[in-house]
Amino acid sequence: MQALLLAGGLGTRLRPLTDDLPKPMAPLGNRPWLESLIRHLKNEGVSRFVLAVKHFPEVIERHFGDGRRLGVEIVYAREETLLGTAGAIKNAEAFLEERFLVVNADVVHLIDVQPLVRFHDMRRALVTIGLTEVDDPSAYGVVALEENGRIRRFVEKPRREEAPSNLINAGVYVMEKAALRAIPPGREVSIERETFPALIDAGERIYGARLSGYWKDIGTPERYRAAHWDLLDGRFALPLLPPEAEPGIRLGRRVRLGKGVVLRPPVLIGDGVYLGDGAVVGPYAVIGDGARIGDEAEIVRTILWNGAAVAPSCTVHDSILGDRAETPLGLIIAGAVIKLGRSARSLAAVRPERMEAPVPGKAVARP
């Protein structure tokens, strides 16, 4: 089967993390979310991918290439201007097969593809929209369903008291290529405000199917961190996570631990990390590959991206440190999002290490 992954959004609410990074490439569990999504869909029987890209497309293209590294086929549909969800699908029309899956790559959801496709086929649908239930639907596209699953009304971002249901568009669609005739080319088109309502009004067979499993929009720093805590709590799983060394403690390869390191589960520590003497990590901490944590530093409810460095005697709570970001000695940080600019990251990549690697010791896991 073929999937079109919508990966061109600007990720404005996740800035500064997405200032020079496509939002789907933000790491989740120390691996770009987009890679985990592709690996999952491959396991669901999807072998051919079209990636719709716009914001720093070269980052995605350089990482995935033609897909052979992951055992799939990948082609790219670049947007020269922002086209909206429907416009991005129309822009990729030349690459699409007669039936295809569409997935909004900004949302964390590991889709059970085959039940969705069977639902679509049994109802001979033109479009089947994957639906998920939320407490407050006012920020999303909301549907009203008939008993057989046919959508009779689609309301984009209604006031909470006016929402016809709590079922929202999950950003997953099975589409017949014929549906693209309803999308005008060459301009921005909203699939929720224009395309779906127009198809429903025209009497087309537009259905909604409830999706099971975890679903979260990671469009803000708060939601991005919350998705990590859900991962650590086991509410969903990702491919290629390191195994648990102890309950709630996942350690990558070549992790170097100083004397008296305390790991408070749940924590996830990537490859090549070193922790200085007396460092405390967790609860709820994700440490990226190659990160460095100095002596007596404390990391709680915080995410460090690859190569980030926390200086000795620092305390970092409820924060996100981007690639190669570094803290000064002894700083207390709470509720921050810190990211180096591209030129500063290039300099950091060639600068010698400023913290000594710790003498190997033994970590102490404490609840």
Q: What residues are labeled active site?
A: 157
Report d(CA 343, CA 352) in Å as an integer: 16
Report d(CA 18, CA 34) in Å as an integer: 14
Report d(CA 205, CA 226) in Å as an integer: 37
Bridge-based pairing state of the strands 216-217 and 107-108: antiparallel
Could you tell me if 363 and 257 are in contact, meaning their C-beta atoms sit under 8 angstroms apart?
yes
Q: How far, in whole angstroms, is CA 362 from its chain's centroid?
A: 33
Report d(CA 224, CA 25) in Å as an integer: 12
Q: Residue type at 34?
A: L
CA neighbor of 90 nearest in space, from 10, 22, 177, 199:
177
Q: How far, in whole angstroms, is CA 297 from its chain's centroid?
A: 28
- Which pair of structure tokens corresponds to residue 208? 């909604």
* H/E segment holding residue 342: helix 342-350
Q: What are the φ and ψ backbone dihedral angles of 194, each rounded to 5 degrees? A: -115, -60
Say whether 118 sits in a helix, a strand or coil. helix
Q: How many CA atoms lie within 13 A of 149 on its CB side?
A: 20
| Helices and strands (H and E) in the chain: how many | 7, 28
